[in-house]
Structure 1
Protein backbone atom coordinates (compact mmCIF):
# COMPACT_ATOMS: atom_id res chain seq x y z
CA UNK A 1 0.00 0.00 0.00
CA UNK A 2 1.26 3.47 -0.82
CA UNK A 3 1.79 5.81 2.12
CA UNK A 4 -0.23 8.48 0.28
CA UNK A 5 -3.54 6.89 -0.68
CA UNK A 6 -6.33 8.96 -2.17
CA UNK A 7 -9.62 8.12 -3.82
CA UNK A 8 -11.85 9.98 -6.27
CA UNK A 9 -14.90 8.93 -4.24
CA UNK A 10 -15.93 9.07 -0.59
CA UNK A 11 -14.62 6.13 1.47
CA UNK A 12 -15.83 4.65 4.74
CA UNK A 13 -13.61 2.87 7.27
CA UNK A 14 -14.35 1.02 10.49
CA UNK A 15 -12.02 1.77 13.39
CA UNK A 16 -11.86 -0.86 16.10
CA UNK A 17 -10.02 0.69 19.04
CA UNK A 18 -8.36 -2.60 19.91
CA UNK A 19 -4.99 -3.99 18.91
CA UNK A 20 -4.54 -7.15 16.84
CA UNK A 21 -1.75 -8.09 19.25
CA UNK A 22 -2.87 -10.18 22.23
CA UNK A 23 -2.60 -8.04 25.40
CA UNK A 24 -1.59 -5.05 23.28
CA UNK A 25 -3.07 -1.57 22.98
CA UNK A 26 -3.82 0.28 19.78
CA UNK A 27 -6.40 0.14 17.02
CA UNK A 28 -7.22 -1.64 13.79
CA UNK A 29 -8.79 0.01 10.73
CA UNK A 30 -10.86 -1.87 8.14
CA UNK A 31 -12.02 -0.64 4.73
CA UNK A 32 -15.61 -1.00 3.50
CA UNK A 33 -14.86 -4.58 2.30
CA UNK A 34 -13.63 -5.67 5.75
CA UNK A 35 -9.94 -5.72 4.81
CA UNK A 36 -7.43 -4.39 7.36
CA UNK A 37 -5.72 -1.31 5.91
CA UNK A 38 -4.15 0.45 8.93
CA UNK A 39 -3.10 -0.52 12.43
CA UNK A 40 -1.50 0.90 15.54
CA UNK A 41 0.02 -1.47 18.09
CA UNK A 42 1.48 -0.15 21.35
CA UNK A 43 2.51 -3.60 22.59
CA UNK A 44 1.09 -3.29 26.08
CA UNK A 45 1.88 0.38 26.74
CA UNK A 46 -1.43 2.17 27.28
CA UNK A 47 -1.52 5.95 26.67
CA UNK A 48 1.92 5.88 25.05
CA UNK A 49 3.43 9.21 24.00
CA UNK A 50 4.97 7.61 20.90
CA UNK A 51 3.07 5.38 18.46
CA UNK A 52 3.38 4.30 14.85
CA UNK A 53 0.67 4.16 12.22
CA UNK A 54 1.29 1.16 9.98
CA UNK A 55 -0.28 -0.49 6.99
CA UNK A 56 -1.29 -4.17 7.12
CA UNK A 57 2.23 -5.36 6.20
CA UNK A 58 3.77 -3.41 9.11
CA UNK A 59 5.27 -0.60 7.02
CA UNK A 60 5.39 2.54 9.17
CA UNK A 61 3.49 5.37 7.49
CA UNK A 62 3.69 7.91 10.32
CA UNK A 63 5.57 8.04 13.62
CA UNK A 64 3.53 10.07 16.11
CA UNK A 65 5.21 11.65 19.13
CA UNK A 66 3.40 13.52 21.90
CA UNK A 67 4.65 16.14 24.33
CA UNK A 68 2.75 17.18 27.44
CA UNK A 69 2.68 20.85 28.36
CA UNK A 70 1.21 22.55 31.41
CA UNK A 71 -2.03 21.28 32.87
CA UNK A 72 -1.93 18.04 30.88
CA UNK A 73 -2.46 19.75 27.52
CA UNK A 74 0.04 19.20 24.79
CA UNK A 75 0.84 18.67 21.17
CA UNK A 76 1.73 15.81 18.89
CA UNK A 77 4.21 15.71 16.04
CA UNK A 78 3.74 13.51 12.98
CA UNK A 79 6.81 12.27 11.09
CA UNK A 80 6.71 10.42 7.76
CA UNK A 81 8.07 6.91 8.20
CA UNK A 82 10.16 5.84 11.19
CA UNK A 83 12.58 8.76 11.62
CA UNK A 84 11.70 11.30 14.31
CA UNK A 85 14.97 13.22 13.78
CA UNK A 86 13.76 15.00 10.63
CA UNK A 87 11.41 18.00 10.46
CA UNK A 88 7.89 16.93 11.52
CA UNK A 89 5.35 16.50 8.70
CA UNK A 90 2.70 18.08 10.93
CA UNK A 91 2.04 19.37 14.42
CA UNK A 92 -1.35 18.90 16.15
CA UNK A 93 -1.86 21.26 19.08
CA UNK A 94 -4.77 21.44 21.51
CA UNK A 95 -6.62 24.75 21.42
CA UNK A 96 -9.28 23.96 24.02
CA UNK A 97 -8.26 21.84 26.98
CA UNK A 98 -8.52 21.63 30.73
CA UNK A 99 -7.67 24.48 33.07
CA UNK A 100 -6.77 24.21 36.74
CA UNK A 101 -10.44 24.32 37.76
CA UNK A 102 -11.96 23.03 34.51
CA UNK A 103 -11.33 19.34 33.81
CA UNK A 104 -13.41 19.14 30.63
CA UNK A 105 -11.92 17.07 27.80
CA UNK A 106 -10.39 18.81 24.81
CA UNK A 107 -12.82 19.64 22.04
CA UNK A 108 -10.57 21.08 19.37
CA UNK A 109 -7.03 21.09 18.03
CA UNK A 110 -5.31 22.83 15.17
CA UNK A 111 -2.97 21.11 12.75
CA UNK A 112 -0.01 22.86 11.16
CA UNK A 113 1.44 21.19 8.09
CA UNK A 114 5.11 21.37 7.13
CA UNK A 115 6.28 22.68 10.51
CA UNK A 116 9.05 24.72 8.91
CA UNK A 117 9.31 27.19 11.77
CA UNK A 118 12.04 29.26 10.09
CA UNK A 119 9.75 30.13 7.16
CA UNK A 120 6.60 30.39 9.21
CA UNK A 121 3.69 28.02 9.23
CA UNK A 122 -0.02 28.22 8.80
CA UNK A 123 -2.91 26.21 10.13
CA UNK A 124 -3.87 23.66 7.52
CA UNK A 125 -6.52 21.60 9.36
CA UNK A 126 -8.62 21.82 12.47
CA UNK A 127 -10.08 18.88 14.37
CA UNK A 128 -13.40 19.71 15.99
CA UNK A 129 -14.97 17.60 18.71
CA UNK A 130 -18.69 16.92 18.43
CA UNK A 131 -21.25 15.98 21.03
CA UNK A 132 -20.32 12.75 22.75
CA UNK A 133 -16.86 11.49 23.52
CA UNK A 134 -16.03 9.85 20.20
CA UNK A 135 -17.53 12.16 17.57
CA UNK A 136 -15.25 14.59 15.74
CA UNK A 137 -14.39 15.87 12.27
CA UNK A 138 -11.28 17.03 10.42
CA UNK A 139 -11.81 20.40 8.73
CA UNK A 140 -9.60 21.73 5.94
CA UNK A 141 -8.08 25.20 6.25
CA UNK A 142 -9.18 25.88 9.82
CA UNK A 143 -12.16 28.16 10.37
CA UNK A 144 -14.72 28.12 7.59
CA UNK A 145 -13.20 25.16 5.78
CA UNK A 146 -15.07 22.09 4.67
CA UNK A 147 -14.90 18.75 6.46
CA UNK A 148 -12.51 16.24 4.87
CA UNK A 149 -13.28 13.45 7.36
CA UNK A 150 -15.75 12.63 10.11
CA UNK A 151 -15.63 10.09 12.92
CA UNK A 152 -18.68 8.87 14.84
CA UNK A 153 -19.90 5.76 16.64
CA UNK A 154 -20.61 2.92 14.25
CA UNK A 155 -24.18 1.73 13.78
CA UNK A 156 -25.12 -1.79 12.81
CA UNK A 157 -26.94 -2.41 9.52
CA UNK A 158 -25.31 0.55 7.79
CA UNK A 159 -27.30 3.28 9.54
CA UNK A 160 -30.45 3.67 11.52
CA UNK A 161 -29.55 0.51 13.40
CA UNK A 162 -28.22 -0.15 16.85
CA UNK A 163 -25.11 1.77 17.99
CA UNK A 164 -22.20 -0.59 18.55
CA UNK A 165 -19.85 -0.27 21.55
CA UNK A 166 -17.64 2.73 22.29
CA UNK A 167 -14.70 0.84 20.79
CA UNK A 168 -16.14 0.69 17.23
CA UNK A 169 -16.16 3.88 15.15
CA UNK A 170 -16.94 4.87 11.57
CA UNK A 171 -14.53 7.13 9.66
CA UNK A 172 -15.84 8.73 6.46
CA UNK A 173 -13.15 10.36 4.27
CA UNK A 174 -14.10 12.76 1.49
CA UNK A 175 -12.71 12.35 -2.08
CA UNK A 176 -9.18 13.44 -3.06
CA UNK A 177 -7.75 13.48 0.46
CA UNK A 178 -4.59 11.69 1.63
CA UNK A 179 -6.07 8.84 3.67
CA UNK A 180 -2.85 8.04 5.55
CA UNK A 181 -2.59 11.67 6.71
CA UNK A 182 -6.26 11.71 7.76
CA UNK A 183 -5.72 8.44 9.63
CA UNK A 184 -2.66 9.90 11.43
CA UNK A 185 -4.73 12.94 12.48
CA UNK A 186 -7.56 10.69 13.68
CA UNK A 187 -5.10 8.62 15.75
CA UNK A 188 -3.53 11.73 17.30
CA UNK A 189 -6.91 13.18 18.26
CA UNK A 190 -8.03 9.80 19.55
CA UNK A 191 -4.93 9.67 21.77
CA UNK A 192 -5.56 13.23 23.01
CA UNK A 193 -9.15 12.32 23.93
CA UNK A 194 -8.27 8.83 25.28
CA UNK A 195 -10.48 7.21 22.63
CA UNK A 196 -7.59 5.10 21.31
Structure 2
Protein backbone atom coordinates (compact mmCIF):
# COMPACT_ATOMS: atom_id res chain seq x y z
CA UNK A 1 0.00 0.00 0.00
CA UNK A 2 1.06 3.57 -0.47
CA UNK A 3 1.08 6.19 2.29
CA UNK A 4 -2.62 6.95 1.64
CA UNK A 5 -3.66 3.31 2.03
CA UNK A 6 -4.22 2.67 -1.70
CA UNK A 7 -3.34 -0.83 -2.85
CA UNK A 8 -0.29 -0.76 -5.14
CA UNK A 9 0.23 -4.46 -5.85
CA UNK A 10 -1.60 -7.70 -5.28
CA UNK A 11 0.61 -10.79 -5.38
CA UNK A 12 -0.66 -14.33 -5.77
CA UNK A 13 1.08 -17.67 -5.91
CA UNK A 14 0.04 -19.54 -9.01
CA UNK A 15 -1.71 -22.73 -7.92
CA UNK A 16 -0.63 -26.02 -9.43
CA UNK A 17 2.63 -24.52 -10.60
CA UNK A 18 5.52 -26.94 -10.98
CA UNK A 19 8.17 -24.23 -10.62
CA UNK A 20 6.90 -21.97 -7.84
CA UNK A 21 5.40 -19.14 -9.86
CA UNK A 22 3.95 -15.89 -8.56
CA UNK A 23 1.89 -13.26 -10.37
CA UNK A 24 1.46 -9.59 -9.50
CA UNK A 25 -1.40 -7.27 -10.39
CA UNK A 26 -1.58 -3.49 -10.07
CA UNK A 27 -4.05 -2.45 -7.37
CA UNK A 28 -6.96 -4.72 -6.56
CA UNK A 29 -7.51 -7.01 -9.58
CA UNK A 30 -10.73 -8.45 -10.93
CA UNK A 31 -10.78 -11.96 -12.37
CA UNK A 32 -10.41 -10.78 -15.97
CA UNK A 33 -7.20 -8.82 -15.24
CA UNK A 34 -3.93 -10.05 -16.69
CA UNK A 35 -0.91 -9.98 -14.37
CA UNK A 36 1.43 -7.01 -14.79
CA UNK A 37 4.40 -9.26 -14.13
CA UNK A 38 5.17 -12.78 -13.01
CA UNK A 39 8.16 -14.39 -11.35
CA UNK A 40 9.14 -18.00 -11.90
CA UNK A 41 11.80 -19.97 -10.09
CA UNK A 42 14.60 -20.96 -12.42
CA UNK A 43 15.89 -24.49 -12.02
CA UNK A 44 19.66 -24.53 -12.24
CA UNK A 45 22.66 -26.22 -10.72
CA UNK A 46 23.68 -23.55 -8.23
CA UNK A 47 23.45 -22.94 -4.51
CA UNK A 48 21.84 -19.57 -5.25
CA UNK A 49 18.13 -19.17 -5.80
CA UNK A 50 17.40 -17.90 -9.30
CA UNK A 51 14.24 -16.49 -10.81
CA UNK A 52 13.07 -15.09 -14.12
CA UNK A 53 10.67 -12.15 -14.35
CA UNK A 54 8.23 -11.68 -17.22
CA UNK A 55 6.41 -8.35 -17.67
CA UNK A 56 2.93 -7.73 -19.18
CA UNK A 57 1.92 -11.13 -20.47
CA UNK A 58 5.28 -11.92 -22.07
CA UNK A 59 5.54 -15.14 -20.11
CA UNK A 60 5.01 -17.21 -23.27
CA UNK A 61 8.25 -15.82 -24.70
CA UNK A 62 11.35 -17.65 -23.50
CA UNK A 63 13.34 -14.40 -23.12
CA UNK A 64 12.75 -12.96 -19.66
CA UNK A 65 12.62 -9.23 -18.92
CA UNK A 66 14.58 -9.44 -15.66
CA UNK A 67 16.62 -12.04 -13.82
CA UNK A 68 17.19 -12.40 -10.07
CA UNK A 69 19.73 -14.41 -8.16
CA UNK A 70 20.90 -14.67 -4.60
CA UNK A 71 19.31 -15.30 -1.25
CA UNK A 72 17.55 -12.86 1.03
CA UNK A 73 18.34 -15.17 3.95
CA UNK A 74 22.03 -14.59 3.23
CA UNK A 75 21.38 -10.88 2.62
CA UNK A 76 22.59 -10.93 -0.95
CA UNK A 77 20.34 -10.52 -3.97
CA UNK A 78 20.90 -8.94 -7.38
CA UNK A 79 18.32 -8.02 -10.02
CA UNK A 80 19.52 -7.89 -13.63
CA UNK A 81 17.85 -6.44 -16.72
CA UNK A 82 17.45 -8.58 -19.85
CA UNK A 83 20.71 -7.09 -21.16
CA UNK A 84 22.56 -8.14 -18.00
CA UNK A 85 22.83 -4.70 -16.35
CA UNK A 86 22.37 -4.60 -12.58
CA UNK A 87 19.25 -2.58 -11.73
CA UNK A 88 19.08 -3.32 -7.98
CA UNK A 89 21.11 -4.98 -5.26
CA UNK A 90 20.38 -5.98 -1.70
CA UNK A 91 23.17 -6.29 0.83
CA UNK A 92 23.45 -6.41 4.59
CA UNK A 93 23.47 -2.83 5.88
CA UNK A 94 26.70 -1.67 7.41
CA UNK A 95 26.58 0.67 10.40
CA UNK A 96 28.56 3.88 10.21
CA UNK A 97 29.19 3.80 13.97
CA UNK A 98 29.78 1.16 16.63
CA UNK A 99 26.11 0.14 16.63
CA UNK A 100 25.52 -3.52 15.78
CA UNK A 101 22.75 -4.07 13.24
CA UNK A 102 20.75 -7.29 13.08
CA UNK A 103 21.04 -9.79 10.23
CA UNK A 104 17.62 -8.71 8.99
CA UNK A 105 18.64 -5.07 8.41
CA UNK A 106 19.25 -4.77 4.69
CA UNK A 107 20.20 -2.04 2.24
CA UNK A 108 18.55 -1.79 -1.18
CA UNK A 109 20.39 0.14 -3.92
CA UNK A 110 18.23 0.90 -6.96
CA UNK A 111 19.21 2.40 -10.32
CA UNK A 112 17.41 5.60 -11.28
CA UNK A 113 14.11 5.25 -13.12
CA UNK A 114 13.15 1.83 -11.74
CA UNK A 115 9.62 1.47 -10.31
CA UNK A 116 10.06 0.96 -6.57
CA UNK A 117 6.69 -0.78 -6.07
CA UNK A 118 7.66 -3.22 -8.82
CA UNK A 119 10.99 -3.93 -7.08
CA UNK A 120 9.41 -4.46 -3.66
CA UNK A 121 6.92 -6.88 -5.22
CA UNK A 122 9.79 -8.79 -6.84
CA UNK A 123 11.69 -8.99 -3.56
CA UNK A 124 8.67 -10.24 -1.61
CA UNK A 125 7.94 -12.92 -4.21
CA UNK A 126 11.63 -13.88 -4.46
CA UNK A 127 11.73 -14.33 -0.69
CA UNK A 128 8.73 -16.66 -0.92
CA UNK A 129 10.35 -18.95 -3.49
CA UNK A 130 13.76 -19.00 -1.74
State if a TM-score over 0.5 links the two structures.
yes
Q: CA deviation at 1:84?
A: 5.0
Confirm or deny: 8 A CA contact 1:67 1:76 kept in the other structure.
yes
Matches of 2:7 and 2:94, distance apart in 1: 30
Corresponding pairs, count: 127
Structure 2 gaps of 5+ residues are none
Large movers: runs of 4+ above 6 Å: none
Q: CA deviation at 1:184?
A: 1.2
Confirm or deny: 8 A CA contact 1:63 1:84 kept in the other structure.
no
Higher relative contact order (CA 8 A, sep 6+): 1
1:129-140 matched pairs, under 5 angstroms: 129=70, 133-140=74-81
Q: 2:53 aligned with 1:111, yes or no?
A: yes
Which position in structure 2 is the counterpart of 1:179? 116
Matches of 1:105 and 1:60, distance apart in 2: 35
Q: CA deviation at 1:149?
A: 0.5
Matches of 1:57 and 1:111, distance apart in 2: 28
Confirm or deny: 8 A CA contact 1:96 1:106 kept in the other structure.
no
Q: 2:24 aligned with 1:81, yes or no?
A: no
Q: CA deviation at 1:162?
A: 6.3
Q: CA deviation at 1:130?
A: 5.7
Confirm or deny: 8 A CA contact 1:64 1:76 kept in the other structure.
yes
Matches of 2:72 and 2:105, distance apart in 1: 17
- Of 110, 124, 131 in structure 1, the residue corresponding to residue 65 of structure 2 is 124
**Alpha-carbon displacement from aligned partner over 1:77-121 (angstroms, at most 9, x marks no partner):** 0101111520000110000379xxxxx97610000011156xx43
Q: CA deviation at 1:134?
A: 2.5
Matches of 1:154 and 1:114, distance apart in 2: 33
Which position in structure 2 is the counterpart of 1:65? 12
TM-score, normalised relative to structure 1: 0.56
